[in-house]
Amino acid sequence: MNNPTRKNQEEVYRNLYENHKGTSMAVSSESQAHKRLRFNEICGIFENEQEKFTVHDVGMGLAQLYEFMLANFSDLNWEYSGTEILHEYVTECRNKYPDINFYNRDLAVTPGEDYYDYLLLSGVFHQRRESKIGDWERFSQNILRNAFHMCKKGISFNFISPFVDFYQTQVYYANLPKLLNFIIDDLGRFFVLKHNYALYEFTVYVYKESYIKGLHPDSEFKKYFKVEE
Ligand SMILES: C[S@@+](CC[C@H](N)C(=O)[O-])C[C@H]1O[C@@H](n2cnc3c(N)ncnc32)[C@H](O)[C@@H]1O
């Protein structure tokens, strides 16, 4: 399976990186305040964790989510790693954080054989640019399916809302019914959709059935789950 969106995405982000180094725009973000709000929603999936957990940041750009986690979740016990298609971003991250695993790979094409409690995708589906809408939707479904395969507990991701008051060309506004059908048909029925914060976007958490089942040990609830003990 190939990924027809990759070439254009690499061109877009290479260009931003070369022209806006050292600013939020190097990864196409409007401001640090936007990023903090967005990351806060993305991290909501693990904020109640008591035990040690692993997170993998897919499309990590310059690993600013790692910096956000260091600043805001130092009381939790976690290990961070990331994946990115643009080798320039990967090189900068490896130089900056030599102890962290950064993969230069495309998880839309094939899932990794590495597994994490949570996979996080922030801002990955916003900038469609020259890609066709159909290709973009296939890309987002493929990478979400593969990320879900690699998680032990759940995945967290965001999309631009379709409920906006103006449209920009080259931005992808989620087709919500299509996305919900995909989640239910291909991932599962255990999800949260948060559309209650300032930005014109929403954040979704999708959980593994086995994880949710573990939260409901009462035998009364056994019938709601398909997975074996
Ligand atoms: C808007 S940036 C967000 C970067 C980072 N998550 C952040 O919030 O700072 C989107 C990122 O997704 C990456 N990306 C696009 N297609 C990808 C793919 N198939 N696999 C991994 N990353 C991809 C881009 O290279 C870019 O770094």
Look up tokens 């692993």; give the residue: 54
From the number of C-beta atoms within 10 Å of its C-beta (0-12, 13-18, 19+), residue 85 rates as buried
For residue 183, is pLDDT > 60? yes
Which one of 8, 9, 10, 155 would you pick to mutate in the ligand 1 pocket, going by the greatest count of ligand atoms within 8 A of its CB?
A: 9
Mind listing the domains of the chain with CATH numbers? 6-224 (3.40.50.150)
Q: Is 84 in the pocket of ligand 1 (CB under 6 A)?
A: yes
Q: Is 82 in the pocket of ligand 1 (CB under 6 A)?
A: no
**Exposure class string for 19-28: b at 16+ Cβ within 10 A, else e:** eeeeebebbb
- pTM for the complete prediction? 0.96
Helix, strand or coil, per DSSP, at residue 184: helix
Mean pLDDT value across residues 71-96 = 97
Tokens of 92: 């900068």
Compute the C-alpha angle 180/198/187, nearest 5°.
20
The yes-or-no verdict on residue 157 having pLDDT over 70 is yes
**Dihedral over alpha carbons 205, 210, 216, 218 (to 10 degrees):** 170
How far does residue 217's CA lie from ligand 1's centre (Å)?
A: 38
**pLDDT for position 1:** 67
Please tell me the distance between residue 226's alpha carbon and the centre of ligand 1 in angstroms.
34
Q: Quick check: 151 pLDDT over 80?
A: yes
The finding on whether 118 has its CB within 6 A of some atom of ligand 1 is no
The stretch 163-168 carries a mean pLDDT of 94
- CB of 160 closer than 6 A to ligand 1? no
What are the residues facing 173 on neighbouring strands? 160
Cα distance between residue 153 and residue 46, in whole Å = 10
Q: Which of 124, 129, 137 best tests ligand 1's pocket when mutated (most atoms within 8 Å of CB)?
A: 124
Residue 156 CB–ligand 1 contact under 6 Å: no
pLDDT score at 22 = 85
Gap from CA of 17 to ligand 1 centroid (Å): 12
Q: Which two tokens stand for residue 227?
A: 């997975």
Is the confidence at residue 88, as pLDDT, over 70?
yes
Work out the number of other CB atoms within 10 angstroms of the CB of residue 37: 15
Six-digit token string for 24: 């939020």
For ligand 1, what atom is nearest to the CA of residue 27? 2
- Tell the residue nearest (CA) to atom 3 of ligand 1: 123
- pLDDT tens for each residue of 28-57: 877 889 999 999 999 999 988 999 999 999
Q: pLDDT tens digits, residue range 89-136? A: 999 999 999 999 999 999 999 999 999 999 999 999 999 999 999 999
Q: Is there a contact between 59 and 83 (Cβ–Cβ < 8 Å)?
A: yes
